[in-house]
Chains A and B, each alone.
Chain A
């Protein structure tokens, strides 16, 4: 029996004027997978991310979350259906304390936070070393921990799938590896993870499968080994294709 994909798109298309930023993308991420989406600058990663989380509306195609069509739903409805997301720039509430950040993130009356999700959240708080710092304003945190705080906030909503846009940007190699290790642990606890990423070292650490975008289309897809061995992928990264 084939498992239902956690998140998928069918022929997803988005144009900005004459530019086709997303061109008929068919993406399918299985439940329990860690998928990395890579591609050179301008490949359409950010647009795809914005389409998946509901910030942009697509011009064509469908987005399915756990088999349910969410193409026309606003971002907050997708979140309520089990999607979590962090942005390229950190958007934790920098002027509020860590406790306040997490309190806002724990939605009242959220039917989503079952015991698995709660376990993941509590585990992440510990791994990210946030549990001791609750009265500190978020802006006092070092950059990497601010990124972690935002991931923890997203987990507080009890998502099944999280989308992370360059979660390790600006982190040192050690911090990047630590982040990778926490994400692998959370994945082991049942969380599906989709990462839009530049940093190939990080991708090697975590990806089960890699999707390469190029000029708005899926250019290649496969395991890390397959993708890094792929001649054409190397070429587009070096600007030869």
Chain B
């Protein structure tokens, strides 16, 4: 009961019965996707979905707790590479991919904790944090980019420099290999699970403290909260969610390159989150799916200007819908809506 109450708390979009009916309908449509889409299209949908955990992590970190990070793709890359190395070396056993996944997530948590410890316990503040996260990402890209030589081999796996790491094993449990439709369902269930866990967390006391920290760090500390500890907590959580996306990415494409950790991929999650509405998880999830779909469709059509269009979109949304376009749509007074939108918690910096 308490969990249900938390799921339906006020810190995300949608609380009415009609909302949940619509939500269930969308999930149902996604579950039934193999009935009306080819395996190739389902595989594309998997790609749009697998970016959502990273975006939800950034939403919690930035939208709820006020810490902007350009470094989420670093954890995406760390998990992807770690999985490639571990699973690529454990090809003798069918448990390699599982061990690789756990290893990738734990490495993200460890790196996030060390980085976060120095940032938050060192009381680094304001705009220095996003710059540090970006520097970390670019350092990682530079490091991975120079691993082309044969000496950059871990066990049987080549890091591969800018050519990337190839032949990364797909996910598998026992003898069951997650590919095609199976991988789609795997990515879908993980994404939905991450969404609900995030929603519960942000409606719980932890989420309230996140918002308090975003609104006023000093006030929150002087109400007796160890702000550093909470900041570190959400930072590690976001790192692990970015890692989860990285894992799904390499299990989906069997391939990763340092350019995944570069400047452009680092900026994209910030766009997804800002365009959707950074302090509303559902808005972020929807925007992530749709923007990845648009991006893919544009690139597939041979359009080289996809990044320019994404940038322009960010600019327009920031100018006209500073709280996010999905949030703006959700808060429209639809004619059938009798209730007035409850006093929403606005982000002061918006």
Q: Which A positions have Cβ atoms within 8 angstroms of B? A: 53, 55, 74-76, 79-80, 85, 87, 91-97, 100, 103-105, 107-108, 110, 135-137, 153-154, 157
Q: Which partner residue on chain B sits nearest A80 by CB separation?
A: B224
Report how far A153 CA is from B212 CA in the complex, Å. 13
* B227, A76: Cβ atoms closer than 8 Å: yes
Q: Kindly identify which residue among A80, A85, A104 contacts B209, using a CB–CB cutoff of 8 Å.
A: A104
Report how far A55 CA is from B224 CA in the complex, Å. 13
Report how far A65 CA is from B218 CA in the complex, Å. 20
Contacts of B348 in A (CB 8 A): 94-95
Q: How many residue pairs between the two chains, A and B, have CB atoms under 8 Å in the bound complex?
A: 65
Asked if B222 is an interface residue, CB under 8 A from chain A, the answer is yes
Q: Which partner residue on chain A sits nearest B215 by CB separation?
A: A93
Contacts of A79 in B (CB 8 A): 222-224
Contacts of A108 in B (CB 8 A): 205
Q: Kindly identify which residue among B211, B222, B223, B227 contacts A96, using a CB–CB cutoff of 8 Å.
A: B211
Report how far A105 CA is from B224 CA in the complex, Å. 8
Q: A146 to chain B: closest CB distance in Å?
A: 13
Asked if B331 is an interface residue, CB under 8 A from chain A, the answer is no
- Interface footprint category on B: 20 to 34
Known: A95-B347, A136-B343. A103 touches B208 (CB 8 A): yes
Q: Which partner residue on chain B sits nearest A163 by CB separation?
A: B222
Asked if B339 is an interface residue, CB under 8 A from chain A, the answer is no
Q: Kindly identify which residue among B211, B225, B226, B343 contacts A135, using a CB–CB cutoff of 8 Å.
A: B343
Q: B41 to chain A: closest CB distance in Å?
A: 42
Q: List the 4 shortest-distance A-B pairs measured between CB atoms, nearest first.
A: A79-B224, A91-B219, A93-B215, A104-B212
Q: A108 to chain B: closest CB distance in Å?
A: 6
* B225, A137: Cβ atoms closer than 8 Å: no
Asked if B346 is an interface residue, CB under 8 A from chain A, the answer is yes
Q: B101 to chain A: closest CB distance in Å?
A: 33
Interface string of B209-242 (1 = CB under 8 A from A): 1011001101111111111000000000000000
Q: Kindly identify which residue among B205, B216, B222 contacts A75, using a CB–CB cutoff of 8 Å.
A: B222
* A157, B224: Cβ atoms closer than 8 Å: yes
Determine which residue in A96, A97, A136 has the highest number of CB atoms from chain B within 10 A of its CB, and name it. A96
Contacts of B215 in A (CB 8 A): 93-96
Asked if B332 is an interface residue, CB under 8 A from chain A, the answer is no
* B222, A76: Cβ atoms closer than 8 Å: yes
Interface string of B316-350 (1 = CB under 8 A from A): 00000000000000000000000000110111100
Known: A93-B215, A95-B215, A100-B208. A157 touches B223 (CB 8 A): yes
Q: B226 to chain A: closest CB distance in Å?
A: 5
Q: B151 to chain A: closest CB distance in Å?
A: 46
Contacts of B343 in A (CB 8 A): 97, 135-137
Q: Which partner residue on chain A sits nearest B346 by CB separation?
A: A95
Q: List 25 A-B contacts (CB under 8 A).
A: A74-B221, A75-B218, A75-B221, A76-B221, A76-B222, A76-B226, A93-B212, A93-B215, A93-B219, A94-B215, A95-B347, A96-B211, A96-B212, A96-B215, A96-B345, A97-B343, A97-B345, A100-B211, A104-B209, A104-B212, A104-B223, A107-B223, A135-B343, A153-B223, A157-B223
Q: A100 to chain B: closest CB distance in Å?
A: 7
Q: B234 to chain A: closest CB distance in Å?
A: 16
Contacts of B209 in A (CB 8 A): 104
Q: B180 to chain A: closest CB distance in Å?
A: 46
Report how far A55 CA is from B205 CA in the complex, Å. 26
Contacts of A135 in B (CB 8 A): 342-343
Determine which residue in A87, A104, A135, A153 has the highest number of CB atoms from chain B within 10 A of its CB, and name it. A104
